A and B are shown apart, each in its own frame.
Chain A
């Protein structure tokens, strides 16, 4: 049987695909990989459909053993976890953003992310947990989907699907380079903004104040939301949040401003409706940067136009489409 054994679980390693569609009106969050493009890229590299289920690694990575009878293909995108493949006592570095073979009996050993918070691991054939509500993603809060509705634990067995095509095929595949996540290597990380749906309900100059303040990612950030604090403790940001907005549907990357004036950027596990004002939105092309933010990271905001945001979104999609075409030929 094609499977992986979890020898060490890591800080919060979850099964994710591209998330649930058409269930938000039931209060069910979309979930899915925090950076769907990065997971899709990893999948395409190993010859999977873009929406196959993989693993999302968070801060501290897992140790996985290929105990099944088959050689597997792997691709890892996102932050650098110092990942190695150990076989017969020898360790080799697992390069990111390209497909590699994972021999029988080998161990994948991911360490701690030196920079960035998350990475996405695709395995040929995908992780074959049963889909729930149209997705294999893990809903941690409600405890369904993924592997038993929870993060991985030591001793878990991850079932794998059958690869779609001949493994030799992937030898022709190139590598993936992300046009919009190079910025994560810089400090501060720049997140570009569009006006949000409740900007008119916020105090004047709210976006300017968001952009003027140097921010730090708070420790209680997670897949529900990335929480920010002023980089200079005690500094006045001049920001005032608004509560009591009639609850309205939420989008990935919306910047929510609660009454304490400390922004929360909504993630894939966010509640489907929310009653705090959302004066701004992180542009789609910067969701990969958002997904990689870790506590302590420095963040700045800059407003751009909708036209610019649409162009940047298109560019990131095109990079993925290039990989898809390569896969198809």
Chain B
């Protein structure tokens, strides 16, 4: 665990599932004055409305340790989202070449896995999905595109994800979906939540 300034702590884990276990624990038995619990890749940021106390640190340290020892199997109750995808992305051929497979095989590989939402970031509703086949991992483009359309399904390093809104972006584009991923007026506003399960279905 690392103290982050006056009012936050960053819990650290060996695995991607660790932050989700600690998130569940700290939501179930909340610490007073916590304003944000933000999972990252193998981290959980805990921010308070006040300075962090020694008592908070002891409790967070315990949560970090407990999560490291707990089972990380996704809860069977975690929502499963089925996302229809038109695999017509501008980088699909490059991705297949990079993976050493045919385009059809690359699509099958991407659509054959059940992914898990590790955390969100970059823009509202943008979920980082863990579980990508090793062959499909591909570095971000050397120079980001000035505009990636909303609904683009993409791969960045070991992550796959969907851009909820048009934005400049550097991930490799596989296809598009019409599913709406973020609506500020909905509750919850993001479709994909940390811990949720996701499957892509070619259409």
Contact = CB atoms under 8 A, between A and B. Distances in A.
Q: Are A and B physically bound partners?
A: yes
Interface of A: 21-30, 132-133, 139, 141-142, 144-145, 194, 196-197, 244, 246-251, 253-254, 271-274, 281, 283-284, 306, 309-310, 313-314
Given A249-B36, A274-B121, A23 B189 contact: yes
A251 B165 contact: no
Nearest to B123: A27
B37 interface: yes
A310 B7 CA distance: 9
A303 B157 CA distance: 35
A253 B124 contact: no
A248 B126 contact: no
Interface string B16-45: 000000010000000000011111111111
Given A249-B10, A249-B38, A309-B5, A25 B124 contact: no
Interface of B: 2-8, 10, 23, 35-45, 47, 51, 119-128, 157, 165, 167, 182, 184-185, 188-190, 193-194
Pick from B121, B126, B194 the residue with the most CB of A within 10 Å: B121
B120 A26 contact: yes
Nearest to B50: A317
A271 B3 contact: no
B189 A25 contact: no
Contacts of B44: 249
17 contacts: A24-B36, A26-B190, A26-B193, A27-B123, A28-B184, A30-B36, A142-B165, A246-B42, A249-B43, A251-B47, A271-B121, A273-B38, A273-B120, A281-B4, A284-B6, A309-B5, A310-B51
Given A283-B6, A284-B5, A313-B51, A142 B124 contact: yes
A250 B43 CA distance: 11
A266 B23 CA distance: 24
B121 A27 contact: yes
Contact of B45 (A28, A251, A310): A251
A310 B51 CA distance: 7
B88 to A, nearest CB: 26
A253 B44 CA distance: 18
Given A247-B40, A247-B41, A28 B121 contact: no
Contacts, number: 126
Contact of B185 (A23, A24, A132): A132
Nearest to A149: B184
Contact of B123 (A141, A306, A313): A141
B68 to A, nearest CB: 16
B184 A25 contact: no
Given A21-B36, A25-B194, A142-B182, A253 B5 contact: yes
B171 to A, nearest CB: 12
Pick from A139, A251, A284 the residue with the most CB of B within 10 Å: A251
Given A30-B36, A310-B6, 18 more contacts: A21-B36, A22-B35, A23-B189, A25-B119, A26-B190, A27-B123, A28-B184, A139-B184, A142-B184, A197-B10, A247-B40, A247-B119, A247-B121, A250-B45, A272-B121, A273-B120, A283-B6, A306-B3
A244 B194 CA distance: 21
A284 B4 CA distance: 11
Nearest to A273: B121
Contact of A27 (B23, B37, B126): B126
B150 to A, nearest CB: 11
A191 B27 CA distance: 35
Contacts of A27: 120-127, 182, 190
A216 to B, nearest CB: 25
Contacts of A309: 5-6
A197 B165 contact: no
A145 B124 contact: no
A114 to B, nearest CB: 32
Contacts of B42: 246
A243 B2 CA distance: 20
Nearest to B156: A275
Contact of B4 (A28, A141, A251, A271): A251
Nearest to A145: B184
Nearest to B186: A133
A248 B10 contact: yes
A26 B43 contact: no
A28 B5 CA distance: 21
B124 A249 contact: no
Contacts of A139: 124, 184
